[in-house]
Structure 1
Amino acid sequence: MKKSDRRLALVNYLTDNPFATDEQLAERFGVSVPTIRLDRAVLQIPEARERIRRVAAGQHDSVRALAQEEVLGEITELQLDRYAVSILEVQPAHAFRRTSIVRGHVLFGQLNSLAVAVTNADVALTAKTELRFHRSVSVGETVVGRVDVVARRFGVTKCRTVSTCDSEVVVDGTIWVVQATEAYAQR
């Protein structure tokens, strides 16, 4: 593929997949990571983290039930009482040292914090979870978590959850979140 064709294809691909890393782009286009970085520099396309931040800045409501930095991963989309999406770039601190496999509570934490964040309440707490882990995740992978509100009743929000890596489901299930009063939450 010619350089000009590759750069045009890169722009088109990133329009549909703004969270793709340089490594994923290099593999997709059959070139080295430095070549992708040079192409991005010439085209003035920021690195993946900055692209995530830009998408996130324009596509979500404000989190109410917890501080933004308490959400595990980077929120890219949030519509209170509807859905939320976050991206977690797996680092060595998220995994067991010996195997480089991500700890289960990290994957749970991403989905759980999203379920609390999507709840339109000042205080929200996890009431119940039912999750299935389908495959392990390794350091260097990017996990996309999505939570959709499927029901609300008597102050309880039921959320359908799914985490994927490269479009493959790694965790899915249901999380119920209860809206609590400030007094109840401080007990």
Structure 2
Amino acid sequence: MGRKRVSALKKSERRYALVALLEQNPFATDEQLAEQFGVSVATIRLDRSALHIPEVRERIRRMASDRQDQVRSLDEQDLIGRLTKLELNRHAESELTIQINHVFKRTQIVRGHVLFAQINSLAVALMDADFAVTAKTELRFLRPVRLGETVRARVDVIGEHGGIVRCRAVSHVGHDTVVEGVIWVYKDPSHAGVQSMDEGETE
């Protein structure tokens, strides 16, 4: 898997790390994970069961069925979170499990720019274009997100005018809405202007 073995971790820490590792490499086998964490394959299977993570064959099948399109507007490594669904110019979804580098040290609450970046990169990835940039956002942050929680973001296209796409964005943790709002994206920034966006988009 190209990484050094993780040093001995407590069960809760190992499970957080397991989720993060599978976000980066969803095709990792139980044997590879066991070697990575220095535990038995049986322990990894127990961890997956507790976290409701399917075995590798099912993860591959789900990714193949969910993701119908390929990202055009940016490299997938620039996405914040793991892309789980994509229909270009229609809707996209991603997941992000909050890790220690995402939070304030004292409060263990996620930094706001991390939640924004997940939505922002997802909206850009949604564009059926070779190049796209954010034009404007109107987002509300509804509750704090904490270390270890998984944020599921969804962006839907709700309008387009002159190469400027208007999207509805929402992020959830479980049944809680944590971020919601609207984001505008330029499909062709070299031929768009803020004035045309303001005049062409209406509520």
**Cα RMSD over matched residues?**
2.9
Q: Say yes or no: does 1:170 pair with 2:178.
A: yes
Q: Which is further off, 118-127 or 58-67? A: 58-67
CA distance in 1 between counterparts of 2:80 and 2:47 reads: 31
CA distance in 1 between counterparts of 2:182 and 2:74 reads: 20
Give a deviation string over 1:124-181, Cα, whole Å, max 9, x none. Answer: 0000000000000000000000000001110011110000001210000000000126
Extract unaligned runs of 5+ from structure 2. Answer: 1-22, 24-42, 193-203
Closer/same/farther in 2, CA of residues 123 and 96 from structure 1, 3 Å limit = same
Q: Say yes or no: does 1:37 pair with 2:49.
A: no
Count of matched residue pairs: 148
The answer to whether the 8 Å contact 1:83/1:146 transfers is yes
Closer/same/farther in 2, CA of residues 77 and 134 from structure 1, 3 Å limit = same
Extract unaligned runs of 5+ from structure 1. Answer: 1-18, 20-33
CA distance in 1 between counterparts of 2:59 and 2:141 reads: 26
Give a deviation string over 1:39-77, Cα, whole Å, max 9, x none. Answer: 849xx9427xx8656523332210011001111000000
- Pick from 58, 64, 67 the counterpart of residue 57 of structure 1: 64
Q: Say yes or no: does 1:148 pair with 2:163.
A: no
The answer to whether the 8 Å contact 2:96/2:150 transfers is yes
Closer/same/farther in 2, CA of residues 73 and 35 from structure 1, 3 Å limit = closer
The answer to whether the 8 Å contact 1:111/1:161 transfers is yes
CA distance in 2 between counterparts of 1:147 and 1:173 reads: 10
CA distance in 2 between counterparts of 1:148 and 1:92 reads: 29
CA distance in 2 between counterparts of 1:158 and 1:107 reads: 19
Between the two proteins, what is the percent identity of the paired residues? 45
> SS of 2:108's equivalent?
coil
CA distance in 2 between counterparts of 1:169 and 1:96 reads: 21
| Counterpart in the other structure of 1:8 | none
Q: Say yes or no: does 1:108 pair with 2:116.
A: yes
The answer to whether the 8 Å contact 1:53/1:76 transfers is no
The answer to whether the 8 Å contact 2:133/2:189 transfers is no
With normalisation by structure 1, the TM-score equals: 0.71
Q: Which is further off, 139-148 or 175-184? A: 175-184
With normalisation by structure 2, the TM-score equals: 0.65
The answer to whether the 8 Å contact 2:157/2:168 transfers is yes
CA distance in 1 between counterparts of 2:119 and 2:100 reads: 19
CA distance in 2 between counterparts of 1:109 and 1:39 reads: 28
Matching of residues 118-157 of structure 1 within 5 Å? 118-157=126-165
The answer to whether the 8 Å contact 1:56/1:75 transfers is no
CA distance in 2 between counterparts of 1:162 and 1:52 reads: 24
